[in-house]
Structure 1
Amino acid sequence: MSTLTTMPRNGNDVSTRRETSSLPSFSSWVDNLFESGMGTGFLSNFNTGMTLPAVNIKENANEFYLEIAVPGMKKSDFNIDVDNKILSISSETKEEKEQKEENYTRREFGYSSFKRTFTLPDTIETDKISAQYKEGILTVHLPKKEEAKEKPAKRINIS
């Protein structure tokens, strides 16, 4: 409910107060829908069955690791490609179920896909990239080139 107030004019001390009920505008309704989180959750799962998977990137002195949370999939569901310093990880799954009974046929199908791309630094040995899928986590190992690996601190003696 909104409240409208009129201010006094020409020194008159008369104020009137009028309450009106109004429906929210379409644009404010859409804004509220997305701000509440329902909109993004609803749209991200509509006809996809999967949102963009979460990725952790770890680095140590010798390599990078990408850990991608993609439970419920098989190794054969993934495509991993490197092209011109771009690492692409994608998956596409289709599922169909059909149940026939005497009085009805029930048919369901689902489709899900994602694609994540990463620009690799020049320090990655692209010929030695490997991947492993275990317990719902796809791990991609990105070894660094020998010249890019961190060297231990070296003490220089003064002669």
Structure 2
Amino acid sequence: MSNLINVPKNGSLANTNSNVNFPSWLDDIFNRDLPSVFSSNFNTGITLPKVNIKETADAFKVEMAVPGLKKSDFQLDLDNQVLSISAESKNEDEKNEDNYTRMEFGYSSFKRTFTLPESVNEDEINANYQDGILSILLPKKEEARQKPPRTIEIS
């Protein structure tokens, strides 16, 4: 006698031989949907870098921790008050030795977008990348800058 198991399109296990008894819990495992961790975005290699945003009287300061990249890996775009920060990095490492070749490669990318407040002077935005930190300065328009407190004399 054969011990074949047919797996129909709906994924349930059908026993073709009445002498073969599979535990019911095994059938349940194959009939249930996989958890979302296995079905969507599993091991895509995409992570979003953490961002600190600080507002001062004159500007907004954005700092993004992105170590291991080069300045040329980044692209910053501004379109209709939306700032897009993206990076793409590819690396390949090939080692040829006596009887084998080892090749490792990697790819990573991300894209983050931020809607800027109308108070930002888009013409004066600048960015700097140093020691793994991407810093973006978003200066405020003159009319949006906080004025220092002052004392008003009573006449």
Q: Give the TM-score of the pair, scaled to structure 2.
A: 0.71
Residues 95-106 of structure 1 correspond to what in structure 2 (within 5 A)? 95-106=91-102
Query: How much does 1:102 deviate?
Result: 3.0
Equivalent of 1:109, from 95, 105, 111?
A: 105
Residues 16-95 of structure 1 correspond to what in structure 2 (within 5 A)? 22=25, 26-27=32-33, 30=35, 34=37, 43=42, 46-48=43-45, 50-95=46-91
Q: How many residues align?
A: 127
Q: Secondary structure at the match of 2:118?
A: coil
**Residue type of the partner of 1:86?**
V
1:136 matches 2:141: no
User: How far apart in 1 are the matches of 2:144 and 2:65?
Assistant: 28
User: How far apart in 1 are the matches of 2:152 and 2:101?
Assistant: 80
Deviations 1:105-125 (A, max 9, x none): 222211100011111111111
For structure 2, the 5+ residue unaligned runs are 1-23
Query: How much does 1:158 deviate?
Result: 4.5
Q: Secondary structure at the match of 1:127?
A: helix
Query: How much does 1:103 deviate?
Result: 2.0
User: How far apart in 2 are the matches of 1:110 and 1:22?
Assistant: 39
Alpha-carbon RMSD across the aligned residues, in angstroms, is: 2.3
User: How far apart in 1 are the matches of 2:154 and 2:135?
Assistant: 46
For structure 1, the 5+ residue unaligned runs are 1-20
User: How far apart in 2 are the matches of 1:97 and 1:53?
Assistant: 24
User: How far apart in 2 are the matches of 1:145 and 1:139?
Assistant: 19
Deviations 1:101-146 (A, max 9, x none): 3322222211100011111111111111111112211111111011
User: How far apart in 1 are the matches of 2:73 and 2:51?
Assistant: 17
What is the identity percentage for the equivalent residue pairs of Structure 1 and Structure 2?
Answer: 56
